[in-house]
Amino acid sequence: MEAKKTIKAGGVELKWDLEAGKVLFDGGDVVFFWVSAMKTFFDTIREISGTEATNLVLEATGFRQGIVVGEGYKKIAGVDQTNVIQWLSNTYSPAGWGKAEIKKINAEKGAFTLHIQDDWEFKMNSLDNKKSEGIFVPAHYAGVFTGLFGQTYWYNILQHQNEANAYSIVEYFPSDVASIEKNISELTKRQEREQIKELELLVDEKTKALLELVRELSSPLIPVLEGITVVPLIGTYDEQRAKDLFENTLNKLPEHRTKYLLLDLTGLQNNITSLTADLIEKLGSAAKLLGTEVILVGISAELAIKITNSLTNLSKFECLQSLQHGIYYALGKSGKRIV
């Protein structure tokens, strides 16, 4: 086997130096890959990064790679708009990039319409049933034109090659907007918005769980003896806490067969608002309809004075100094005692 070999394909020279392990394509080092190997490479990126991020990476890579090629050939071959059609076909067809033909040129606007057929990315995507649409190759040619003509080019895919279409149709045109940077920025902002949305949902879930826990802790019913249940009132009550306490207590009184409900006011620290007083009065009236007597316990001297002066609606309830006194009182009324 010859250590060195040179052939020409489509006017482009290919050289192999097997001793050095080099392949030169029109004077530059190249590496050949199987299409299936490239598919594995692309699929791995997609599995790690996700489809949206992968497409952006492929687009940016293809575009920037094209710029390098375009700038290189501009220096070597002096390619311009007058010979770009022939150059494009001669360069990319021998390299296995499929058939690329410029069908329309708008010299005034410097725009191109390119037909791309059977390129390696299309072949790669055809190996599975995902039916992915090419993005690397179209972006690559935009980079090539950018490098060749020294002005940013971008593209618009009018048609993808598939079972119904024999080739892809892509428009290329000068662009003042750096679309790669714009797309990266938009993707980053979109990902940030998605992350913020996920965090907001997580916070809402945690907040709901915390509120539910607070509600449960805010209105505990403690059955201490048969027919006697204690509900400690703690802290400051707003309308929601008052509603939760009222509904939770009334719903569970029959379950505990409560005859005497002891509302322990010790945790209020003498800070009974009109809302709390209304809650106690309303709870007492409703409990009475269920055959339960409400007794207020944990009454300090300061709280007794406040009830007498401004919360007279609580005076109708039996009021005792401590929870212990309340339990003994309820037992006595039940005809029972602790032995």
Between the CA of residue 131 and those of 162, 260, 295, 311, what are the distances in Å? 8, 73, 75, 76
Q: Strand, coil or helix: what is 283?
A: helix
Q: Which CATH class is domain 219-333?
A: alpha beta
Per-residue pLDDT of the chain (339 residues; tens, 9 = 90+): 566 778 776 667 778 887 778 888 777 787 777 788 888 888 888 888 788 788 888 888 889 888 888 888 777 666 666 667 677 777 788 778 888 888 888 878 888 899 999 998 888 888 876 667 888 999 999 998 888 888 888 888 999 998 899 999 999 988 876 556 666 666 567 667 777 788 778 888 887 777 676 666 666 788 888 899 998 888 778 888 888 889 888 998 998 899 999 999 888 766 788 888 888 899 999 999 999 999 999 888 888 888 788 777 788 888 898 889 989 899 888 877 666
Contact 208, 247 (CB under 8 A): no
pTM here is 0.52
Spans of all domains in the chain: 1-32, 33-176, 219-333
Among the four given CATH numbers 1.20.1090.10, 3.90.79.10, 3.30.1360.180, 3.30.1380.20, the one describing domain 33-176:
3.30.1380.20
Query: Do 33-176 and 219-333 share a fold?
Result: no
What is the C-alpha to C-alpha distance for residues 158 and 169, in angstroms, rounded to an integer? 5
- The tokens describing 133, both together, are 């649409």
Q: Strand, coil or helix: what is 164?
A: coil
**Of 141, 176, 177, 173, residue with least CA distance to 64:** 141
